[in-house]
A and B are shown apart, each in its own frame.
Chain A
Amino acid sequence: GAVVSQHPSRVICKSGTSVKIECRSLDFQATTMFWYRQFPKQSLMLMATSNEGSKATYEQGVEKDKFLINHASLTLSTLTVTSAHPEDSSFYICSGLNRGLYEQYFGPGTRLTVT
């Protein structure tokens, strides 16, 4: 199956700083990538959808100025959490849509802790 990587796998940052999370599709071209957030014992909540070369589409209630998404190439998308606060602490997961197979492949997730 297709592989998606995320970096870092875990990050701890201080309140007010910004954190960048990378999502890469390693062996396929992902024209669309998705960013999800998952709180403990809860389901995945879609935050935004990004298409390569276009601005991301954010779900209702997700602040686009706080969660900056860039999808500069068919294999890389980044999520930057700006001015992070403790309530932003969560598990962030990306996925890539494999063009032609119509299947989302998920990354291993990044655990963000804001102190």
Chain B
Amino acid sequence: QKEVEQDPGPLSVPEGAIVSLNCTYSNSAFQYFMWYRQYSRKGPELLMYTYSSGNKEDGRFTAQVDKSSKYISLFIRDSQPSDSATYLCAMSWYQGAQKLVFGQGTRLTINP
């Protein structure tokens, strides 16, 4: 079993839809949870960063962490074609950890 599981998709939704992306994990020691966006043939860029359980909102993006269920989500409201990318969840044990454990990434396409 992988430490972090993420449905690779692909996921295709119409413009303006609410998108829900999810990851599950098995290691309860994870404390920091991140979402990265990766455009084709580019490096990942950090979107959201959450510590422990709870919600965090940044513009159209909301990250949720449920440590009791070992489940994290990223919601994108009012999705735009420019949101089309691969979204990777990542986790670590402590702030500034030497190692991030990534999910497989979900390929998302927003159709105009």
Query: A106 — which chain B residues lie within 8 A by C-beta?
Result: 36, 43-45
- Bound Cα distance from A24 to B11, whole angstroms: 34
Interface string of A20-48 (1 = CB under 8 A from B): 00000000000010100000011111100
How many of B's residues come within 8 Å of A, CB to CB? 21
Interface string of B84-105 (1 = CB under 8 A from A): 0000100000011011101111
Q: What total of A-B pairs shows CB separation below 8 Å?
A: 53
Q: How far is the CB of B59 from chain A (nearest CB, A)?
A: 15
A109 touches B102 (CB 8 A): no
- Bound Cα distance from A105 to B105, whole angstroms: 18
Partner pick for B43 among A49, A57, A109, CB 8 A cutoff = A109
Q: Which residues of B contact A (CB under 8 A)?
A: 6, 8, 36, 41-46, 49, 88, 95-96, 98-100, 102-105, 107
Q: Which residues of A contact B (CB under 8 A)?
A: 1, 4, 6, 32, 34, 41-46, 49, 57, 91, 93, 95, 97, 102-109, 111
